[in-house]
């Protein structure tokens, strides 16, 4: 499964007051389907709808739908970087309008300060899934899973090509309940460059290296 990120810029900031306490929210289009995005990917609506239903039931409804400030490089939400909590995702045609509450955490305070200073922020969904190429379009498959509906990112109009290029060249596997990066290209390079009489040795070396990394998690 590949790490997949999508950035949207159509968000606004809302301040709500309840019992004398002011809360800051970010709201806008968090997820889109049936549309070829800037990364050349399309999420069929039935795939996105199914995953949003699961994410809503298991994460949003249980106050577990958290997001980070910045561009995380893996599928796990890091609690020390959490800045907000997604409180709703509402279907609107082929889009899902999300609303996230800025939290009183160190990263939440940074996000609030940026918003109050007028910084232009966007949101980036983060998930895992496989992709099939169809007529020049990368179609996200039915195994798609959201890690978070929205991370808060700066300069959303400038794709983080370097990080995305590195991370999307990896696949992710679940090992004992933990998502682990598998550096496929590196492994392929080792195997493909090995002489035929050393092929099995190369394969074993790659496998042993993977097991060693997993054992350290």
Give me the active site residues, please. 71, 124
Task: Take residue 129 and report the two structure tokens written for it.
Answer: 């899934």
Specify whether the CB–CB gap between 97 and 106 falls below 8 A.
Answer: no
Residue in 167, 42, 25 with CA at minimum distance from that of residue 97:
25
| Residue 194 Cα distances to 53, 188, 198, 213, angstroms | 46, 10, 6, 22
| Residue 202 Cα distances to 27, 41, 183, 188, angstroms | 50, 35, 15, 10
Backbone Cα Rg of the chain: 19
CB atoms within 10 A of CB 79: 9
Q: Given CA atoms 174, 176, 181, 186 in this order, what sign does their dihedral have?
A: negative
Do β-strands 178-182 and 171-175 pair in parallel, antiparallel, or remain unpaired?
antiparallel
For residue 162, the SS3 value is helix
């Amino acid at each position: 499964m590949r790490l997949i990120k999508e950035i949207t810029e159509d968000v606004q900031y809302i301040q709500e007051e309840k019992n004398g306490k002011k809360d800051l929210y970010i709201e806008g289009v968090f997820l889109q389907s049936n549309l070829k995005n800037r990364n050349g990917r399309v999420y069929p609506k039935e795939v996105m709808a199914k995953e949003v239903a699961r994410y809503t039931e298991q994460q949003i409804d249980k106050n577990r739908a958290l997001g980070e400030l910045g561009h995380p490089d893996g599928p796990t939400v890091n609690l020390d970087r959490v800045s907000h909590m997604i409180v709703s995702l509402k279907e609107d045609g082929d889009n899902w309008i999300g609303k996230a509450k800025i939290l009183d955490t160190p990263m939440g305070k940074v996000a609030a300060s940026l918003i109050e200073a007028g910084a232009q922020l966007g949101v980036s969904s983060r998930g895992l899934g496989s992709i099939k190429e169809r007529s020049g379009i990368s179609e996200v498959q039915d195994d798609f899973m959201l890690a978070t509906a929205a991370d808060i990112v700066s300069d959303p109009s400038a794709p983080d090509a370097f990080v995305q290029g590195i991370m999307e060249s990896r696949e992710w596997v679940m090992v004992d309940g933990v998502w682990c990066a598998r550096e496929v290209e590196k492994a392929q390079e080792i195997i493909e460059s090995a002489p035929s009489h050393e092929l099995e040795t190369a394969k074993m070396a790659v496998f042993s290296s993977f097991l060693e990394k997993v054992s350290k998690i």
